Amino acid sequence: MTLRIPHVIADAHVVAKRNIIKIKRVPDLLVFTTLSPIMFVLLFSYVFGGAIDQAGGGAAYREFLIAGIFAQTVIFGATITGAGLADDVKKGIIDRFRSLPMAPSAVLTGRTLSDVVNNVIVLVVMSLTGLLVGWRIRGSVLEALAGFGLLLIFAYSVSWVMAWIGMLVPSPEVVNNASFIVIFPMTFVANTFVPLSTLPAPLRRFAEWNPVSSVTQSARELFGNIPANTPEPTVWPLQHAAAYTLIWSVLILAIAVPVANAQYRVSTSR
């Protein structure tokens, strides 16, 4: 109540710093952050990319895939938020935080902010791997940065959903299982790995309005990775992919931030 705004920021920064230190110390996190992105890029490029190759798509198709892999990986990265929080609750760290005169909201804010840093590392690793397998940015640097920015913003909003789940369920394992059930269909029933035209009609309808499709589409456009013979999108979300992505991100944040913080208060004061 007597806490001023700078305290909230300073406290969130301290919490975020702590989580970032952990990226390099916790083997699971380090693998999640560095090795699995490399693996995803290589596997998807050569397993899926190879299949499309025979149909004549060629290297252009590999390039098409990259933005989808980026989108999927940063969204999966958001699960660290939930698992990390659940782990903190389990280990009593949250109790320690709560006995300190810090801003209560800094716990979740710091957590989600450190996951942005994590996703930045993930994107750098994946981009470098992508460049090795033939992916190129064909637009301007600014456009490319905007593409990365949209991926990060959308993933950040998903982090808050995961923060809510993390406070809701009792263990890190449950967070992972619960979130995968949602995230797998979200990231696969989309234009991440295949052109929407290949999907059956009901799935295609879902995919067209799925924000994962729009964030992928906007990154693809901003990287200049839309294959030359691709037909123009026919639905509004994909025609205005960046705007649609931002609308979703803001909407998710507007709901998830207060809900996650409320859940934090409920779950930690038992």
Partner 1 sequence: MWDQGPSLSGMSEAIRAQGLVKRYGKVTALDGVDISVPTGTVLGLLGPNGAGKTTVVRILATLLRPDAGEAQVAGVDVLTDPAGVRRKIGLSGQYAAVDEYLTGFENLDMIGRLYHLGRRASRVRARELLAQFSLDEAADRPARTYSGGMRRRLDLAGALVADPPVLFLDEPTTGLDPRGRAEMWEIIQTLVSGGTTLLLTTQYLEEADLLADKIVVIDHGRIIASGTSDELKRQVGGERLDITVSDGNRLTEARELLEPLGTGPATHDHQRRTVLLPVTGGATVLIEALRRLDAVGLRLDDVGLRRPTLDDVFMILTGHGAADPADVDVRRRQVVR
Question: Where do contacts with partner 1 occur on this chain (CB under 8 A)?
Answer: 1-3, 7, 10-11, 14-15, 17-18, 21-22, 25-26, 91-93, 95-102, 170, 268-270
Smallest gap from Cβ 35 to partner 1, in A, equals 18
CA distances from 192 to 52, 62, 63, 195, 254 (A): 14, 12, 12, 8, 26
Q: How far apart are CA 187 and CA 147, in angstroms?
A: 17
CB contact at 8 A, 159 and 81: yes
Smallest gap from Cβ 269 to partner 1, in A, equals 6
| Nearer of residues 90 and 205 to partner 1, judged by Cβ | 90
| Nearer of residues 9 and 60 to partner 1, judged by Cβ | 9
Concatenate the DSSP letters of all residues of 2-33 into one string.
---HHHHHHHHHHHHHHHHHHHHH-HHHHIII
Q: How far apart are CA 168 and CA 89, in angstroms?
A: 11
Smallest gap from Cβ 258 to partner 1, in A, equals 20
Smallest gap from Cβ 145 to partner 1, in A, equals 31
| Nearer of residues 65 and 106 to partner 1, judged by Cβ | 106
CA distances from 17 to 12, 102, 166, 194 (A): 8, 15, 20, 38
Residue 207: how many CB atoms within 10 A of its CB? Answer: 21
Q: How far apart are CA 214 and CA 211, in angstroms?
A: 5
| Nearer of residues 6 and 56 to partner 1, judged by Cβ | 6
| Nearer of residues 181 and 262 to partner 1, judged by Cβ | 262
Smallest gap from Cβ 102 to partner 1, in A, equals 4
Q: How far apart are CA 74 and CA 218, in angstroms?
A: 15
Smallest gap from Cβ 33 to partner 1, in A, equals 14
Smallest gap from Cβ 88 to partner 1, in A, equals 8
CA of residue 230 relative to chain centroid, distance: 26
Q: How far apart are CA 86 and CA 101, in angstroms?
A: 22
| Nearer of residues 99 and 197 to partner 1, judged by Cβ | 99
| Nearer of residues 18 and 204 to partner 1, judged by Cβ | 18
CA distances from 207 to 46, 112, 197, 201, 203 (A): 24, 27, 10, 10, 6
